[in-house]
Chains A and B, each alone.
Chain A
């Protein structure tokens, strides 16, 4: 879902409820945190586009101290 659309929906939700109950705030906060993490997971997808198998196999160091 594009971010703009999500924002629209969220705005609509807030407009529809005239008095925001504390519980709902918590729920929305929870959703926000999850959305943020989704963004991180998407960024991880990009990092893992690289051939993980080859990268991991090639990660060989000489022993240090």
Chain B
């Protein structure tokens, strides 16, 4: 598929601590309740679709989760992913004010990461609409080595323990137990088999990817989604001929995560030994050949160029990528701080730094301190993110959903909304179901929206 739907879901970590005035901290459940209070406005469950077409809800394990609207362009997706952070940031400020009015003096911290201190994990899920005709066996075989190795640029980094230098590239790698699995809360797989296309099942498959980390870096999100989309396109066109199957993929994903030099060789099924970066070069070289034969577009060209740039840097010295990749940006910042303050690596402050890198509040989050100073590469502008907070993408069905939600909210009409339908109850009694997320305009939907 040339044009494709992308979506990102992020489960956020949340904690409510007492402030220095000695107020009482709230439980996570209560903090999440405050977070949702304004936005659910009278609804029974903390689960709403927003005027930008996104869904914001409380997921398994009490995590606030933001699912972007359907995007058909990777840059749009980055804007909408960041818009989710900004929406939750504003809600957390509002929640603190309400808590204060109720006599609780606490601070809500929200983290876009994937692990807590004792080692529980929560996910960042990528979604790709795919051509149904691809055999699942082939899809899995060609994707697994890619997913095992793309962490070299997509990993969010993690201080593993407070031993000096004990740093992993990926947060999520250590929680992966299977090659292929349907489970998302236990025995998580490199390939997850959940397949709810919210569209015509005959035509489309939805690839639900749970193996990746949440990214703060726009560049990392852009490259992660962009390269995956290129690989999917090649798989759909049956173009990948390289034999890249690994001897033990689950072990490999952990070995690569634990090697910050990115040089460790892993064993392939055919006996060859390649590093994660070399495996990525195989996919990139294949993609170069592919785009000699099929038409590319400016965004794809840009992704290809950045993919090559990143692999070239990773080969010489990964630490050069301290403006682009989360795991490098964070590692360098922690090291600089530890050296300048002559901290011991076994200090709790080191773990705190790791955590605070992912804090979505710009005045607290370390990523945002670097961003404010122009020390990280951006893909989108603040105004594009602001726009995405209130407007759906123009070219997918999120457009009519967003317009519907906005109007219904303004007129205070109770309605039903889901990824594939919009519904009006009494006295209208109307339902519109869409089976193609790539289509933005439907006459029937427009008629329904303007009837309210």
Contact = CB atoms under 8 A, between A and B. Distances in A.
Interface of A: 36-38, 40-41, 43-45, 47-48, 50, 52-53, 55-65
B306 interface: no
Contacts of B166: none
B117 A63 contact: no
A60 B121 CA distance: 10
Contacts of B366: 44, 47
Interface string B120-139: 11110100000000000000
Mostly helix, strand, loop or mixed at chain B's interface?
A: mixed
B184, B210, B347, B348: which has the most chain A beta carbons within 10 Å?
A: B348
Contacts, number: 96
B355 A65 contact: no
B106 to A, nearest CB: 12
A12 to B, nearest CB: 26
Contact of A59 (B355, B364, B373): B355
29 contacts: A41-B340, A44-B353, A44-B356, A45-B341, A47-B364, A52-B348, A52-B352, A55-B15, A56-B348, A56-B351, A56-B355, A57-B117, A58-B15, A59-B15, A61-B14, A61-B116, A61-B122, A62-B60, A63-B60, A63-B61, A63-B122, A63-B185, A64-B60, A64-B61, A64-B122, A64-B123, A65-B11, A65-B59, A65-B210
Contacts of B336: 37, 41
A63 B121 CA distance: 5
Nearest to A49: B20
A41 B120 contact: no
A42 B60 CA distance: 38
Given A61-B61, A61-B122, A64-B185, A55 B352 contact: yes
Interface in B202-239: 210
Contact of B122 (A43, A50, A65): A65
Contacts of A40: 333, 369-370, 373
Contacts of A61: 13-14, 28, 61-63, 116, 120, 122
A59 B117 contact: yes
Nearest to B356: A47
Given A40-B333, A55-B355, A56-B117, 15 more contacts: A40-B369, A40-B373, A41-B336, A52-B352, A55-B17, A57-B348, A59-B15, A61-B14, A62-B120, A64-B61, A64-B120, A64-B185, A65-B59, A65-B125, A65-B210
A56 to B, nearest CB: 5
A47 B352 CA distance: 9
B246 to A, nearest CB: 25
